[in-house]
């Protein structure tokens, strides 16, 4: 009888352990790689409001750059990747596998709407800042066939030069090209001509509150004028296009578009 009870207890214990081990993760949880414990996760969103100085961005509309040249925008695309969220204690939470192609000009009924991207699998908690990469890191670039926003079909990948962090195309009377177009498709993902740029900002007195069943928004303004100024003044007349090759010019332009991004506020 005692042996029977002992075996019964052992069977139940093993069955309970097996059941616990086989239990699927509840929705909206992940395993913390540091502690091995389940933690709750949610989504956050990044909104990119495109402006030209103090004016709202619109396609095929004349704007004036710092060299006094009028220009119109027909294409503006860039990659957002490698998102990290800063905690109030100064440490960072890395959000893996975040690669998004942001398109400022979308072919739908609302062409000038601000693009919003969703960042999933964010651990619950408060965050005081954010950093992300404009571009695609070298590890991902060299990891073989890509899909989704990294698909070669999207025209942002050049075989020998990797992904273009940013593509900016339009028209200007100042352009030296026969059709008065300008075209800047930036390339370079390795030093010394790495054109990917890290954007880092603190939220000031605000906190981003990530939690299950909610999707707070971090709102950025993206000032297209900054492409033509700070730290270098870019004249369309002097530089109407770039080559699909990592070089000093592409690196210089990347330092300008780093200043395009400015944190505005949070919608919790």
Domain that holds residue 245: 26-267
Ranges of the chain whose pLDDT falls below 50: 1-25, 108-109
Note whether residue 3 is domain-resident: no
Distance of alpha carbon 214 from alpha carbon 225, whole angstroms: 34
Note whether residue 13 is domain-resident: no
Note whether residue 44 is domain-resident: yes
Note whether residue 19 is domain-resident: no
Which pTM does this prediction carry?
0.86
Note whether residue 123 is domain-resident: yes
Q: State the pLDDT at residue 131.
A: 98
Distance of alpha carbon 92 from alpha carbon 83, whole angstroms: 10
pLDDT in tens, 125-173: 999 999 999 999 999 999 877 999 999 999 999 988 999 999 999 999 9
pLDDT in tens, 173-200: 999 999 999 999 999 999 999 999 999 9
Note whether residue 5 is domain-resident: no
Note whether residue 4 is domain-resident: no
Distance of alpha carbon 214 from alpha carbon 126, whole angstroms: 13
Q: Are 29 and 38 in contact (CB under 8 A)?
A: yes
Note whether residue 164 is domain-resident: yes
- Strand intervals (E) in 53-180: 55-56, 63-64, 70-86, 92-94, 99-103, 116-123, 125-127, 129-134, 157-158, 162-163, 166-171
- What's the domain count of the chain? 1
Q: Are 80 and 102 in contact (CB under 8 A)?
A: yes
């Amino acid at each position: 009888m005692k042996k029977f009870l002992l075996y019964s207890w052992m069977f139940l214990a093993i069955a309970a352990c097996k059941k616990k081990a086989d239990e699927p993760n509840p929705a909206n949880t992940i395993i913390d790689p540091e502690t091995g414990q389940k933690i709750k996760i949610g989504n956050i969103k990044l909104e990119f409001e495109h402006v030209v100085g103090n004016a709202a961005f619109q396609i095929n509309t004349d704007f004036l750059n710092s060299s006094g040249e009028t220009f119109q925008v027909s294409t503006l695309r860039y990659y957002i990747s490698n998102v990290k969220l800063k905690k109030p204690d100064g440490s960072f939470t890395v959000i893996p596998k975040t690669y998004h192609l942001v398109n400022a000009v979308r072919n739908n009924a609302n062409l000038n709407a601000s693009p919003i991207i969703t960042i999933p699998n964010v651990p619950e908690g408060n965050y005081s800042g954010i950093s992300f990469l404009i571009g695609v890191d070298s590890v991902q670039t060299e990891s073989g066939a890509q899909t989704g926003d990294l698909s070669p079909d999207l025209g942002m990948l050049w075989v020998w030069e990797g992904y273009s962090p940013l593509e900016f195309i339009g028209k200007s009377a100042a352009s030296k090209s026969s059709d008065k177009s300008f075209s800047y498709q930036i390339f370079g993902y390795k030093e010394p001509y790495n054109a990917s740029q890290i954007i880092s900002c603190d939220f000031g007195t605000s906190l981003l509150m990530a939690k299950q069943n909610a999707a707070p928004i971090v709102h950025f303004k993206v000032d297209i004028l900054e492409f033509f100024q700070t730290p270098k003044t870019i004249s369309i007349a002097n530089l109407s296009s770039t080559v699909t090759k990592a070089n000093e010019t592409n690196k210089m332009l990347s330092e300008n578009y780093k200043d395009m991004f400015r944190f505005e506020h949070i919608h919790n």
